[in-house]
Structure 1
């Protein structure tokens, strides 16, 4: 397994990470591994399209929420703002 050395880490950040590790009952190293794994998974989901089912559910909720509503055309407002 690879090892990573992080130099010049702000002591405040280190303290926050240590507190987070304590809250989760993990060592600092375990907590950092967990954080990195979560970040890598989020980036991977984002770049490959994420969870399409969740996206479809969010779209369906928005369609229900805004069904039958009309919205004004913001073109004039944008023009006015640009002319300022």
Structure 2
């Protein structure tokens, strides 16, 4: 398995990571592995489009919810807000 060396890590960050590890009942190395795994999965999920079926279902629900509704033109409100 690969090893990673992180140099010049801010001592405050290290302290926060150690605190997180203690809170989760893990060693610092286990905590870092978990953080890296979650970040990699989240990035992969984001860049691959995520769960398209769930996205399609959410869009369909929104379309049903807002079908036939009339919304006011917010242009004037936005202009007023910008002028503040």
SS in 2 for 1:40: helix
CA 57–79 in structure 1, closer or farther in 2 if over 3 Å, else same:
same
Give the stretch that moved more between structures: 29-38 or 51-60.
51-60
For 1:3-82, what aligned pairs fall within 5 Å after superposition?
3-63=3-63, 66-76=66-76
SS in 2 for 1:31: helix
Give the stretch that moved more between structures: 47-56 or 24-33.
47-56
d(CA) in 2 for partners of 1:25, 1:57: 38
SS in 2 for 1:8: coil
d(CA) in 1 for partners of 2:25, 2:17: 12
- Count residues with an aligned counterpart: 83
After superposition, give the CA deviation of every residue in 1:3-23 in whole Å (9 maximum; x if it has no partner). Answer: 111111111111111011111
* Gap runs ≥5 in structure 1: none
Structure 1 length-normalised TM: 0.74
1:47 Cα offset (Å)? 0.8
* Gap runs ≥5 in structure 2: none
